[in-house]
Amino acid sequence: MIVAGQTPLKVSLIASVSSLLLILVVFELIRSRRLRERYALLWLLTGLVLLALSAWRGGLNTIAGWLGVETYPPAVLFAVAVLFVLAVLLHYSTVLSKLTDQNVVLAQRIALLELELSRRPSGQASAPDEAAAPAARST
């Protein structure tokens, strides 16, 4: 008969401390304005879920039992971590795609504005504010 595995205390401690560290680093990054809240939410969720699973050993053992992980419950921790990292990466790919599209639009708008400016008599070229308004209609 197979005895259901237990999570070693040491693993639980190290994993908890690591998740807590992740959460703290994310908070500090937001505070110092290097990370926008919008992109931090998924990281915070990752940190909180991992922290909950690492600290609550009974829960991790139970969930491992449900999933048929009989021998080594912390494997579930790895699986969950990998799943969340995948989600974050996928999210970033969509963000990256959007930024790429916007970058193209910006480059086009700037190029068209420069053309517009260069066509004007040189005396007026120093007033970009006025020049920007009519050219902005083109999209």
Partner 1 sequence: MKCIAIVPAYNERGAIGGVIEEIRAFDPSFDVLVVDDASHDGTADVARSHGAIVVTLPFNLGIGGAVQTGFRYAAQNGYDLAARIDGDGQHDPGELRELVDAVSSGRADICVGSRFAGADGYRSSRSRRVGIRILAGTVSMLTHQRVTDTTSGFQVLDRKAIELFAADYPHDYPEVEAAVMLHKHRLRMMEVPVRMRERAAGRSSIRGFQTVYYMAKVMLAILVGALRRRATPLEDT
Scan residues 54-113 and list those touching partner 1 (CB under 8 A). 101-102, 105-106, 109
Residue of the chain from 36, 82, 83, 91 that contacts partner 1 (CB under 8 A): 36
User: Residue 21 interacts with partner 1 (CB under 8 A)?
Assistant: no
Q: Which stretch binds partner 1 (CB under 8 A): 28-36, 51-59, 62-70, 117-125?
A: 28-36
Closest Cα partner for 63 from 84, 85, 79, 44? 79
How many residues touch partner 1 (CB under 8 A)?
A: 22
Part of the chain binding partner 1 (CB under 8 A), chosen from 7-15, 60-68, 83-91, 128-136: 128-136
**What three-state secondary structure class fits 121?**
coil
90, 95, 127, 136: which one binds partner 1 (CB under 8 A): 136
With a CB cutoff of 8 Å and minimum separation 6, the contacts of 30 are 36, 37, 40
Residue nearer to partner 1 on the CB measure, 62 or 102: 102
Per the listing, tokens 């401690």 go with 13
Question: What gap in Å lies between CA 53 and CA 60, rounded to an integer?
Answer: 6
Name the residue with tokens 């007033």. 127
Burial of 5 (0-12, 13-18, 19+ CB in 10 A): middle
Chain positions contacting partner 1, by CB under 8 A: 27, 30-31, 33-34, 36-38, 40-41, 44, 101-102, 105-106, 109, 129, 132-133, 136-137, 139
